[in-house]
Amino acid sequence: MKIYDISLPLDSGTLIYPGNPEMSIEAYRSVPEYPTNLSKITFGSHTGTHVDASRHVDNDAPGVDKINLEACIGPCRVLDMTAAAEKITVADLEKENIRQGERILVKTQNSLRGFSEFREDSICLDGDAAEYLAERGIILFGIDWLSVKKRGGEDVRPHTSLLSGNIVIFEGLDLSGVEQGEYQFIGLPLKLTDLDGAPARAVLYK
């Protein structure tokens, strides 16, 4: 069995979405002064590879601890969208014969350019495309950037159309070492009660 770790590393150099809390890690207790090492970690709920909960866009919606974990484990398809120049569109998705109940991850130029700096021209999901995915009835969508939505864009459907359809959103996936194809997916967010999102460890395997 080959395992692909598609999670971003969490450390002082982790790329942070502008306006989100910075990540810090510091020693809280250290050997030999104490019998064990213990660290203090501060980070935002949408740091690194993470899951968006419906609470992210709706104060009255369930938090990340209520996400359907069955959607987070199972077969998935990685779609090569590296030809997309700005947004993933309906036309891009219509070529892929997306079916009800699928888990879909999209690999774009974001993965190929890396995660060392924030790019305003990152590839995102078009609002119409988000509605298309919701209509197709997928159960999970993942993208290789820190948000499915373009920063500063007025169209919020990349979040709302997916989340209102109970589609789990994974953001911050590193798909640079993964080719298009079928895989098994496991991605589990931290069980943070009633929160809008949570970091997760995500892997693919065959």
Active site residues: 56
Instruction: Give the Cα separation of 186 and 101 in Å (integer).
Output: 16
What one-character DSSP code corresponds to residue 172?
S
Q: Which helix (H) or strand (E) holds 202?
A: strand 197-205
The SS3 call for residue 123 is: coil
- 67's tokens: 């996400």
Contact 134, 164 (CB under 8 A): yes
Residues recorded for the chain: 206
